[in-house]
């Protein structure tokens, strides 16, 4: 789904013109999410437990900080799963190519959170909500983009965002990824 705003402007000669201003936030639903979710969670669980705990950050399990050369069994299914979403973005942005520059998973449990941050070296930041309790999707400083389990959200990487603290004993699992688009 791509969001558009219609703006009517009046030029110097009084002629009205309608402009479509694109909102560069993309969201889509993954087909067969439940089946894919079970497989991806199984493959993620093959990676040894690795947490990241610091001020404003409490991530139960992630592969963010393990060597990029380490085999990630979930990579193939993940890339296959997000490809339709990325192709939709390529068409909407009218570009020729998209590259996934990095991807990683993060799991949170009670009080798990990820502080406000941006993705400095990417065009887009993206999140596949593999497990997402209601009202715990990615939050933004200047707008609301509520998502649910089974959705992919893509947004300009410079936008400040966070994963709010979980206040229940549920688990949240996301696969985050950075993308770059070229003509």
What ranges do the domains of the chain cover?
Answer: 24-182
DSSP symbols for the chain: -EEEEEEEEE-TTS-EEEEEEEEEEEEEEPTTHHHHHHHHHHHHTTSPP--EEETTEEESEESTTS-TTS--TTHHHHHHHHHHHHHHHHHHHT-SEEEEEEEEEEEE-TT-EEEEE--TT-SEEEEEEEE--TT-S-EESS------TTEEEEEETTS-EEEPPP-SS--EEEEEEEEEEE-
Residue 134 has a pLDDT of 92
Residue 22 confidence class, pLDDT cut points 50, 70, 90: low
For the chain, how big is the Rg over CA atoms in Å?
A: 18
- Tell which wins on pLDDT, 113 or 6: 113
Give me the percent of the chain exceeding a pLDDT of 90: 76
Average pLDDT, the chain: 88
Per-residue model confidence as pLDDT tens digits over 124-171: 999 999 999 999 999 999 888 889 999 999 999 999 999 999 987 889
**What CATH architecture does domain 24-182 belong to?**
Sandwich (2.60)
Q: What is the pLDDT of residues 73-102, one digit of tens each?
A: 999 999 999 999 999 999 999 999 999 999
pLDDT digits (tens, 9 = 90+) for 32-68: 999 999 999 999 999 999 999 998 889 999 999 999 8
Q: Supply the pLDDT for residue 168.
A: 76
> Global pTM?
0.87
What order do you get walking across the sheet with 139-140 strand by strand? 52-54, 57-59, 113-117, 161-163, 139-140
Residue 107 clears pLDDT 90, i.e. is over it:
yes
């Amino acid at each position: 789904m791509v969001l558009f705003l219609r703006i009517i402007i009046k030029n110097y000669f009084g002629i009205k013109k309608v402009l479509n201003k694109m909102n560069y936030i993309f969201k889509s639903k993954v087909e067969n999410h439940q089946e894919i979710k079970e497989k991806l969670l199984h493959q993620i669980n093959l990676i040894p437990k690795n947490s990241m705990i610091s001020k404003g950050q409490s991530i139960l399990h992630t592969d963010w900080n393990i060597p990029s050369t380490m085999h990630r069994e979930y990579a193939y299914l993940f890339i296959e799963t997000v490809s339709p979403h990325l192709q939709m973005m390529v068409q909407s942005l009218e570009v020729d190519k998209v590259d996934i520059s990095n991807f990683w998973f993060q799991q949170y449990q009670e009080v798990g959170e990820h502080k406000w941050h941006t993705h400095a070296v990417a065009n887009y930041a993206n999140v596949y909500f593999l497990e997402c309790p209601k009202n715990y999707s990615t939050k933004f400083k200047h707008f609301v983009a509520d998502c649910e389990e089974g959705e992919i959200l893509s947004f300009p990487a410079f936008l400040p965002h966070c994963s709010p603290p979980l206040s229940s004993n549920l688990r949240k699992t996301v696969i985050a990824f950075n993308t770059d688009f070229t003509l």
